[in-house]
Structure 1
């Protein structure tokens, strides 16, 4: 039986170590402080009895739980990331523990009147009677993905302490920089040596995902011409006004706040400009590869049309693919999803099989030859002050890891 207090203590230890990554630094890891948690994890993995514990020069941690079987089964893996999102500060995290939650408002911060309310975040009502860990309203929590890290370490410890649970060889890896899109870039799949793996990086209890967005980033640079405004007629080209035209030329309903499920979008996430130059930064997302390609083509066509309209090359577009839908790589090996689904059913967890409206390390790893579906880690409202995680969800996620290890030993006997 996984102890709630044990998993709570471990999680709080991890989230109080600042590991925020930096999207503007090309180094690995992108922030030196990620080493702080990495070094803690290395020592902890050794203490609980893991073998082949290795921290490489790029802040990837790998370790092995040897098989306790007298026959061969596939080597499987579990992966989580140690960094937290740069979208909101992860410095000086002060977790708050709400025991026996009763569906009421949770006061995160009295001084700043910050409230976590089920009136707005109705998922809270799923967790009545449970223990919920929240922020103090001034930072994110870091359940994304320190809940996943906690669950993997705790599951490995549990298997070591309970040798009566039979399992094959298990590899684990903790990656840096997932939140800035680089978590799988230097992941050594051959060194990892697993036939398949699972990222513990989903949200609410029961999530099991093997589809995600195809993703690209688009940089739209608009060059204007500045002259004295009093004498500007026929001469000035205001790049900000052209940028406004460009934004309006994209489908107005195909934005994050108006889409769900399998619907894709264009998301303008940054704009910086003056009369002479304006830069628009977009992310482009779609589950369907053909629609994804059409979205990229549309941005390029709008730029071309504007250049034709103004009879000069005012707009330059640069588009870079970021990751692709892992469904293509998972479908041929669907038994790895089926195993996780069976374990959840065994544990009384209702599997929520749906497409990720985002990406994980698993999407990139799947294209590097390591099929890698995503399993819930338990947290909600990632990347902001309203992030929370029910302790019971972390316990269940840990039990899923243990159950998958045991299930593989039976299915491949």
Structure 2
């Protein structure tokens, strides 16, 4: 970045970090941050001060703008402003002596800006402040700082937390890219199965057209012969419809900017089975489907459920031995739809269960898995407002149960 000079920090600080990740710091010297013509190395951030202290408001304005960041303040008792003016906040500094009010402010800021960093200024020891805020809010606070240390400590602390935010952003972006690449790889792996299935249908089409041609060109064709031709034509149309469904499935899965629509859960499962044919055939795995006869429907992005089903079936195929079995079930409940993928594979060791949804975690060899399949499943299930549960028995198999709530438009 042109014009950026290395940042220099002249500060003596003692820091401790709790199990929840909250920092407490105290400072014996001030800090200075190096800047170039382009401002701070992590870019211009939006910093919010929530305070009713006019003296502090004025001091913080000079300090934060000198660091190259955008500064604004809000009064602590105006909840309407807190809900309407905090959406783009990168860092919130909260100066409130009443901890119950601080708790509510933290909750409102995080509701509008989930990735914002939170600093609480206190009149007393930061450790005591951490204990005064309830557990839920405390987990959302990144640092507690005594108010009389604010001028010395905040320059360093602001850059530290914004740097951490930038790292988290880059890490999440890398995960999204990796997940997208894994999704595209799944589409590529399914292409062979699709080509095989389409070729089978085309072979049937050629045969049917040949027979129809023979009937039409036969001398003295009579009504029974014409009726036979119609039967073959109906078969041709059925094959064409099947090919259309296969191609539509692969197109749907690859479509990134999908729109919400009403779709059949059963049709999603049936379509994904075709894409999984290569995995099933490779190990001679039998796949059974027990689909709800009421044909449960969902409203949303069909591609999300397709990816969930595809990844769960692929995971099951990796888990079972040659000749194994995978069962997929759908069931409509009172307020949603359940999807169950069950296998009779090796199961999951107890010490691994808590890790299976983490990104890049895998017990498979590098060539067999990226460690992103179940991570993507959980992420998509959460985006749909659903839940996913796993039950397993080592040596007997694993069952994943996904619940997606009904959504009305």
Q: Same fold (TM over 0.5)?
A: no
Higher relative contact order (CA 8 A, sep 6+): 1
Flag the structure with larger Rg: 2
Q: TM-score, normalising length from structure 2?
A: 0.22
